[in-house]
Amino acid sequence: MKYSKIELAKQAIKHKGLMRKIPDIYRMIKYWRKGIYPVNSIDMILPILGILYIISPIDLLPEIAVPVLGIADDLAVLSLTLPKLLKEVDKFLLWEAKQKGNLQNISDAKIIG
């Protein structure tokens, strides 16, 4: 089976409701950049860089030159990036709900997944 960046993007979109979380991701990044959402910068920068690497046409191992390894590096970055990004979005949504006063009784929550 031959993979391409388009196929990888389709797989990423199917991953745990990523499409539904795109507005949340955008809002999270906006709040983080304004300094409203308190989070470690590396927890935001690494997933964003990983997604940009997957989307970008520039690769360390191009698919044309090294077909199997070219896709393998994209899959590795995707498998490391998406869970981290989605976990951070879940933390952001909890933080946002707490800020709005919707979750009065949450003191510390751990996102599992």
Domain presence at residue 110:
no
pLDDT tens-digit profile of 15-65?
A: 556 677 888 888 988 988 888 888 888 888 888 888 888 777 777 766 666
| pLDDT number for residue 109 | 56
Report yes or no: 29 and 48 within 8 Å, Cβ to Cβ: yes
- Amino acid sitting at position 22: I
With 60 as the cut, is the pLDDT of residue 82 above it? Answer: yes
Q: Helix %, strand %, coil % for the chain, to 5?
A: 70, 0, 30
| pLDDT number for residue 1 | 42
Domain presence at residue 68:
yes
- Tell me how many domains the chain contains: 1
| pLDDT number for residue 45 | 85
| pLDDT number for residue 11 | 58
| pLDDT number for residue 91 | 87
Where in the sequence is the domain holding 59, given as residue range(s)?
A: 5-100
